Amino acid sequence: MIDVTRAAEAPASLAANDRYDGEDVITTLHRDFLGKCYLCETSIQLGTFTIDHRKPQGERQFPELRCAWTNLFPTCNTHRCNERRKKRYPPGGLLDPGDGVEARLHQRLERPSAVLASAAASLSFAAAQAGDVAAENTAAELDRIHNGTDASGPARRTASALRGAILLHVELIAQKLRDLQTEAADASDRALRIAELRVLFSRRAPYTMLVRSCLAGLPAARELFDDVPPA
C-alpha cells in the first residue's frame, strides 16, 4: 500500500447520492491511485476493477458513506482483494493511502530467492510504532490479503497466487539490475536499460513498496526510485 493523493473535488456523479460507480468515479479513482489496487498494488485497467468501501456500507455499519468520495477505493479483480477483506470494520479503524501509510507501516519482502516457491518467501506487515491501532489493524489486513492468514482455503490459494506474482515481478527486476551491473553495453543501450528500470521501480509500477523493500540494497537500485532526486 502506497501513499496516494486523492482529488480534493469529488466526481460530479456522486452529488446525486444514488450511485458510487459512475464513469467519472471510475476514471478518477484509476488516475488518482496510479492504476493500481490500493490494497495489493496489482495493476488494474479501466473497467476491470471493483470499487471498495473502506468503511463498509452495510446498514449496521456506515450506510451514510455509500457515496462518500473519501470512502471509495479501487481493488483488483485479479486477486479479489475486496472479497478477501474482513467484513466488519475493526475498532480503532484502518489506514488508507491518504493517511501517511508508508511512514506508519513496515511492508517488507524477505527471502525473495525462492522465486518459484511463494510459500518460502516472507511478506511481512507491521505497525511502525507500537500503539498505532489503525496501523496494527491495517498490517493484519495486508497480512490476510498477501499471506492468507486467518482466511479460508480458497482465499489462502488466492493469496499464494498473489505472492507468486510479486516474487516473479521482483525476480524480473533483480535480473535486469544484475544485467545492468555485469553486462557490457554502449551508452545508448545502458540509457535504455536504466529508463526501463526507472519505470519498474516507479510508484506507478506494481508492488512498489515490497519491490523497494527487497531491492533497495542492490547497487544502483535506490537512485532509480522516482521520488529520489537524480544525482
To which H or E segment does residue 135 belong? Answer: helix 133-147
Residues 193-209, mean pLDDT to the nearest whole number: 95
Do the Cβ atoms of 79 and 156 come closer than 8 Å?
no
* Residue 146 to residue 159: CA distance in whole angstroms: 5
Helix, strand or coil, per DSSP, at residue 27: helix
Structure confidence at residue 128 (pLDDT): 97
pLDDT band per the 50, 70, 90 thresholds, residue 59 = confident
Look at residue 231 and tell me whether its pLDDT is greater than 60: no
Do the Cβ atoms of 120 and 111 come closer than 8 Å?
yes
pLDDT band per the 50, 70, 90 thresholds, residue 104 = very high
Look at residue 199 and tell me whether its pLDDT is greater than 50: yes
To which H or E segment does residue 137 belong? Answer: helix 133-147
Structure confidence at residue 112 (pLDDT): 58
**Least confident window among 36-45, 108-117, 215-224:** 108-117
pLDDT band per the 50, 70, 90 thresholds, residue 226 = confident
Helix, strand or coil, per DSSP, at residue 125: strand
- Single-letter code of the amino acid located at 69: W
Whole-number percent of the chain with pLDDT over 90: 75
Residues 182-186, mean pLDDT to the nearest whole number: 80
Look at residue 100 and tell me whether its pLDDT is greater than 90: yes
Do the Cβ atoms of 157 and 141 come closer than 8 Å?
no
Look at residue 30 and tell me whether its pLDDT is greater than 90: yes
* Residue 81 to residue 99: CA distance in whole angstroms: 20
Mean residue pLDDT across the chain: 91
Whole-number percent of the chain with pLDDT over 70: 93
58 or 195: which leads in pLDDT: 195
The pTM of the full predicted model, rounded to 2 decimals, is 0.91
Residues 138-161, mean pLDDT to the nearest whole number: 95
| pLDDT tens string 115-124 | 444 445 789 9
Residues 26-54, mean pLDDT to the nearest whole number: 96
* Residue 65 to residue 184: CA distance in whole angstroms: 57
Burial of 94 per CB tally in 10 Å (0-12, 13-18, 19+): buried
